[in-house]
Amino acid sequence: MGRFLLGRLALAIFVVLVVTLLVAWAVRLSGDPAVMLAEGAGAITAKDLENIRKALGLDRPFGVQYASFLGGMLTGDMGNSFMGGRPVAGMVRQALPLTLMLAGLSLAASLLVSIPLGIRAAVNRGGAADQAIRILSLFGLSFPNFWLAIMLVLVFSITLGWLPPAGADGPSSLVMPVLTMATILSATNVRLVRSAMLETLSAQYITVARSKGLAETVVLYKHALRNCAIPLITYIGLQFGGLIGGVVVIERVFNWPGMGSLAFDAVASRDYPVLQAVVTVLAAMIVLVNLIVDVLYGFVDPRVRTE
């Protein structure tokens, strides 16, 4: 098991290093932040722009800038924002927990709904419950997340006045973002659980478990669900990684001050340090989630540890 973990950890570190290099190079394609900072300051000469670049450290070769960025990341110093001079590490520390909370609650809510519904659909294959659940999941897949978010705001905030339309002002502010993301996730997860359970329920050991007189809930949740856990863990891990990196739209619609909003503002203002830090941290989180998924493989199926 130790060898298995070391191999996965080495691969994860390599991926993060490659991502940091690509991010550091790609963000510089978005334009010159010196020009952005000089806008509205009246007549700006080429010498003024050169002085701004020098003050920001953008006059140094790319390799030197990247080495400085990487060294800072290793020590927790992510530099200062070009817009306002705030420490980037502090901005990330404020935004990351909010994004993780939003993603985690959305995934948890989705699993609480989709696992029982997927099992119910599989057990009643071809029946009325199966058809109804599949139709509902199809509706969920058909809704773009931004459209569903806007509709929830129109209904629950503007029309009914039950929930705040935006911001992070307590638990009530989480309801609509979590509901939006959980609805989209549940539509996919229900179909995944149903497909995995259909294959497992036809296995001989399920018939044996039922013949022993075990309760149906024990057969379904302890035996069947555990034995189809590998594909579920894989997809759920990928989903959580996608949630962490793909909440920009939801955070912008609900003005949620997480990593997505931070990245959006950094792109708009060409704030290299903030954008580099946000993308690198999100990439590291996604790699970490995939590493955890690999480790869970080893616990769920011991045969994976020898691969």
The mean per-residue pLDDT over the stretch 54-75 comes to 79
Nearest Cα to Cα of residue 28 among 59, 71, 74: 59
- Is a pLDDT exceeding 80 seen at residue 295? no
* CATH no. for 88-306: 1.10.3720.10
What are 113-143's pLDDT values in tens digits? 888 888 888 888 878 888 888 888 888 778 7
Rounded to the nearest integer, the mean pLDDT of the chain is 79
Per DSSP, 40 falls in state T
Burial of 275 (0-12, 13-18, 19+ CB in 10 A): buried
The string of pLDDT tens digits covering residues 5-24 is 677 777 777 887 888 788 77
User: Over the stretch 196-206, which tens digit does the pLDDT of each residue have?
Assistant: 888 777 777 77
- Predicted confidence (pLDDT) per residue in 211-236, tens digit: 777 777 777 777 777 777 777 777 77
Q: How far is 285 from 273, CA to CA, in rounded Å?
A: 18
CA distance 241 to 290: 8
* pLDDT band at residue 246 using 50, 70 and 90 as cut-offs: low
Could you tell me what percent of the chain has a pLDDT over 90? Answer: 0
Q: Answer yes or no: is pLDDT of 90 > 80.
A: yes
Total-model pTM? 0.76
**Predicted pLDDT of residue 58:** 76
Tell me how far apart the alpha carbons of residues 129 and 136 are, in angstroms, rounded to a whole number. Answer: 11
What the block records as the tokens of 51 is 């002085």
Backbone dihedral region for residue 120 (phi beyond 0: left; psi -120 to 50: alpha; all else: beta): alpha
Residues for the chain: how many in total? 307
Does 31 score more than 70 pLDDT? no
pLDDT at 236: 76
Spatial distance between the Cα atoms of 184 and 198, rounded to a whole number of angstroms: 22
- Domain borders along the chain are 88-306
